[in-house]
Amino acid sequence: MDLSVVKFDEKGLIPAVVQDARTGEVLMLAYMNRESLLRTLSTGRMTYWSRSRGKLWVKGERSGNFQLVREVRVDCDGDALLFKVEQVGAACHTGYRSCFYRKLEGERWKEEGEKLFDPEAVYGEKTS
């Protein structure tokens, strides 16, 4: 696998923008290291590097809300990735379809978008 155009930062990470392959909706932003990128490419399921937990995680491993890779792109500088995916269920750990469910209206953030599951029921914990 030729990853010569992919430029990981000083921590060995690269941001990955995730977009719905069918609708174009931006679903989330996460980070990948070399291992998670290679695993994603070999399995066809999005695998990320969790900065807070310091480990790999497959999107949907706990919730069942997987992301199936349909297309991969790298930006002109090689320092950001774009994945077009088939989203199974919700992309956001808060239960919303997209992590970008809050919209600034005037001086306030308004929640909008489709909430597909209760995170406490799935993860057994409160999410922010």
Residue 4 lies in a domain: no
From first to last of its 128 residues, what are the pLDDT tens digits of the chain?
899 999 999 999 999 999 999 999 999 999 999 999 999 999 999 999 999 999 999 999 999 999 999 999 999 999 999 999 999 999 999 999 999 999 999 999 999 988 999 988 888 866 55
In a domain, 7, yes or no: no
pLDDT tens profile 47-69: 999 999 999 999 999 999 999 99
Q: Is residue 9 part of a domain?
A: no
Which tokens is 80 given?
Answer: 């950001």
| Count of structural domains within the chain | 1
Nearest to 96 by CA among 124, 122, 61: 122
The answer as to whether 8 is a domain residue is no
What is the rounded distance in angstroms from the CA atom of residue 50 to the CA atom of residue 28?
14
CATH code of residue 55: 3.10.20.810
Q: Can you give the residue range of the structural domain that contains 110?
A: 14-120
Distance between CA 126 and CA 78 in Å, rounded?
36
Element (H, E) at 81: strand 81-87
| Closest listed residue to residue 6, CA positions, set 27, 26, 42, 35 | 35
How much is the pLDDT for 90? 95
